[in-house]
Amino acid sequence: MKINVDVGGTSHVYSSANISENLGGKNSWELADIIKINTSKEWGFSVPDEDELVVKLINMDSREVIPKCRISLSPESAGNSPEHPIDYCVAGNSVVPNDNFISSFTVLGASINSSNYVQMVTTQFKIGNDTFNPWNYSLAVTGNVNDGKTHLWILPKTYTAGTPVTIIGQSWLHKNTSLNYSLDSSWTSQRVVNSTSNSPNLKVLKNGADVPKIPGSEAQPPVEEFIKDYAKNGKIVLGENEAIFLFELGVTNLSSSGADFQDLVVLLKVDSAPAS
């Protein structure tokens, strides 16, 4: 992809290399990623009026213009510029932003088996005292995210600085061998891991952390496979406003060979709340 920015009849190009650098070195641009372009730094001008701005997102392979993209303008300030992403700390395994914020959650993948079948995995999120359940956390089949897909959910409102962000993961087992396992009622909860509990069954990766070298259990892919787009030269490459949560939802004995920490993998991104 590349971005063409036309201001008052003068065209400027933000290349694929620019986009990759903007995203901390990632080689893909995904849903919920936000590209912030400081026009003063890049091209030596501030956008005088939104009416004079034309932005086109172009697929370089097909030379086609992507028909829909959302553009917003913000004044230059330390709180909103690309050089000052929102700050946060990790309390236990919960992320606590130090500024008013919005969030997005991306399930990068999940993988957990029990002997001869694939288990169900569900997840939900807590922001302060509010619980969000975008994929039916309490229903094993309906809410399953162990399906080989990525799942994106964006927080519908902003929260104040200091509000903890929590992710909860749950694995499910067959109730017995004679049921229809396409039904939610045929499954029973195996293990719940809540990031507020400081559980040893959860790891949180920030920018610069070592990539975990943990093999997958029962021929499952290793955790490295799920986070390969966020790794380079053995290190995690994330924005300072991002964190990756690795859940172990199977074994209790974490020293055993079955603990692979890729039963649920979630990318959390926090951004400064839009100016009111």
Can you give the pLDDT at residue 127? 94
Residue 64 confidence (pLDDT): 82
Q: Give yes or no for a contact between 3 and 16, defined as CB atoms under 8 angstroms apart.
A: no
According to the model, what pLDDT value does residue 83 have?
A: 38
What is the total residue count of the chain?
276
To the nearest 5 percent, what fractions of the chain are helix, strand and coil? 10, 35, 55
pLDDT at 93: 67
pLDDT for the residue 69 = 62
pLDDT on residue 141 = 97
**In angstroms, rounded to a whole number, what is the distance separating the alpha carbons of residues 202 and 194?**
8
b/e code 59-75 from CB counts within 10 Å (16+ = b): eeeeeeeeeeeeeeeee
Q: What per-residue confidence (pLDDT) applies to 36?
A: 81
Q: What is the mean pLDDT of each run of 10 residues along the chain (276 residues)?
A: 80 84 77 74 68 77 72 52 56 78 93 91 95 96 95 92 93 90 95 87 92 87 93 91 92 74 94 72
Structure confidence at residue 82 (pLDDT): 38
Q: Burial of 225 by CB count in 10 Å (0-12 exposed, 13-18 middle, 19+ buried)?
A: middle
Paired with 157 in beta bridges are none
Per the CB < 8 A criterion, the answer to whether 204 and 266 are in contact is: no
Say if residue 235 is exposed, middle or buried (CB neighbours under 10 Å; 0-12, 13-18, 19+): middle
Q: Write down the pLDDT at residue 92.
A: 62
Element (H, E) at 4: strand 2-7
- Say if CB 192 and CB 169 are below 8 A apart: yes
Residue 264, pLDDT score: 97
